[in-house]
Chain A
């Protein structure tokens, strides 16, 4: 029945402004619902599941899992890798962004493209490349063997693989930021008598500090969670060359589900802390730009 057709279709209420960008309420509701359901299904549900499954066999099992010696050595190795890889990549990121934004040189675009390479390459391939280079049958194998240096199936290999995979984060964050800021403040500093180093510390760094922190946090998060490349180079030697992600894989493979999830909760907690810090920094950067 057509009984619900309004008799005066042209008199929309004055408060309802029709602009080109407004859509009816039902469209908005559907879009929001889809987003929330998607997020809920793919992000929130798995996260909650990790915590539920971790305590599935009780708190005692949970604690035993995270204080197990192999778990502890995995945690220590992950932390060691972060402590080496993140600062190195931060220094590289600042240096590369500095070079790209303050100087003119040939091959600038090539440098920027190469920095993005680790994003394009599958982490497993990245790990494989290191194996091809540094294993005993690899390119540098004989030289390394002669000098008794172990890279593959040892901690150095894991650190190298992690550095490769997390290389772009700080640079990609800083390059557009420093390019947008230009060089005039640094030039002003020079004309006022400051040398290059002082200019860097007093003028450049304060201007990029939020971007730098943000890049470091992203780099950190990825370094903790890296699996593919590290898995290829590590050799999975328990107690020696297992990082947290690798340890979780082993536990899961041995059907120790509760223990696997227990270690996973540690990584999830780290991830959540990282997200909180990231949000605070985003809020602070917005404040800085709106000033």
Chain B
């Protein structure tokens, strides 16, 4: 079931939650709506589900316009951030609910429902917990029940609202993987909302980066990470170091230093800002070329296998952040207050006149 969203806008009172959203989702895709709080991603998801109605615009499931159709007729599966399990029903009844409330004409028989529920319990590996009540389950178990419940009605579209937001890190990672595998097996068109860029990059086929009620960029995880369209997308998808300077003769220059800028076309010299990922900053003990910058190490954080190094540039007192492997860190024998040379690579250049950050 493909989804087409045309020109959707929505405001709550004086707050504009969504502005002119255009989006197309192919059948069987797993799409992430990624953005900070207030970006409108949850509002968009709820509008697709029918839990809210758009002020303007239209939504199509396949070739049918469903803009004004009520939730119960849309055949969507919705998974809530805080599970929304029916607290007075046990796990079995929760999963069976969608089938039990069908009108008599389309309601499957008791045996059929039982079989289906048991299949789903096996799928989510909760067979032993069928008689338990939601209050007796852990967060991860609750979310799996919620997923089983949504899948029981065989929805054409699966919508997940920050499904792993309320879970701890290890469970989140496991369920993430599990969701991806589930999707690969059943191929239901799925949209999930998240503010965790790692999650989006890990799970999604395509990512829709949203900010302030608008779509900033749509693309595969690699596209939005390696080729961000604007500073917001770059900054949101990972940490960033800024190099303010001028783009002259095909290079970004900051006083004496000059950096190669792969793939940038420009005609005139103009003010530009170079964006560099911490892991694209190399640290050396000796100067090596016009793109080496002298800096002092201010902080060293060892976080598992990665070492985060905060540095202060000697020429303009700006701060930089670098990420190196523990191995390299040990080899170089770095310590706070050492003077080293840093070299940025993979610069992405944006022109401040085009964007207000």
Contact = CB atoms under 8 A, between A and B. Distances in A.
Nearest to B71: A190
B135 interface: yes
Contacts of B242: none
Q: How many of chain A's residues touch chain B, expressed as a range? A: 10 to 19
A79 to B, nearest CB: 33
B80 A189 contact: no
A188 B150 CA distance: 9
Contacts of B73: 193
Contacts of A36: none
Interface string B15-56: 000000000000000000000000000000000011100000
Interface stretch (B97-105, B204-212, B267-275, B279-287): B97-105
Interface string B114-153: 0000000000000000000101100000000000011011
B97 A187 contact: no
Interface in A182-197: 184-185, 187-195
Interface stretch (A94-102, A119-127, A202-210, A246-254): A202-210
Instruction: Output the residue of A187, A191, A193, A202 with the most chain B CB within 10 A.
Output: A191
B78 A187 contact: yes
A195 B72 contact: yes
Contact of A291 (B70, B71, B98, B133): B133
B176 interface: no
B51 A185 contact: no
Contacts of A207: 87-88
Nearest to B100: A202
A190 B149 CA distance: 13
Contacts of A195: 72
A287 to B, nearest CB: 11
A108 interface: no
Given A187-B80, A291-B133, A193 B87 contact: no
A184 B133 contact: no
B221 interface: no
A185 B84 contact: yes
Contact of A193 (B51, B101, B135, B136): B101
A290 B97 CA distance: 24
Contacts of B72: 190-195
B91 interface: no
Given A184-B80, A291-B133, A192 B88 contact: no
B86 A185 contact: yes
Given A187-B78, A187-B80, A202 B87 contact: no
A188 B88 CA distance: 14
* Shortest beta-carbon contacts, A-B, top 4: A192-B98, A184-B84, A191-B78, A194-B101
Given A185-B85, A192-B72, 12 more contacts: A184-B82, A185-B87, A188-B84, A190-B71, A191-B71, A191-B78, A192-B98, A192-B101, A192-B149, A193-B73, A202-B97, A291-B133
11 contacts: A184-B80, A187-B51, A187-B71, A190-B70, A190-B72, A192-B72, A192-B97, A193-B98, A193-B101, A202-B101, A291-B133
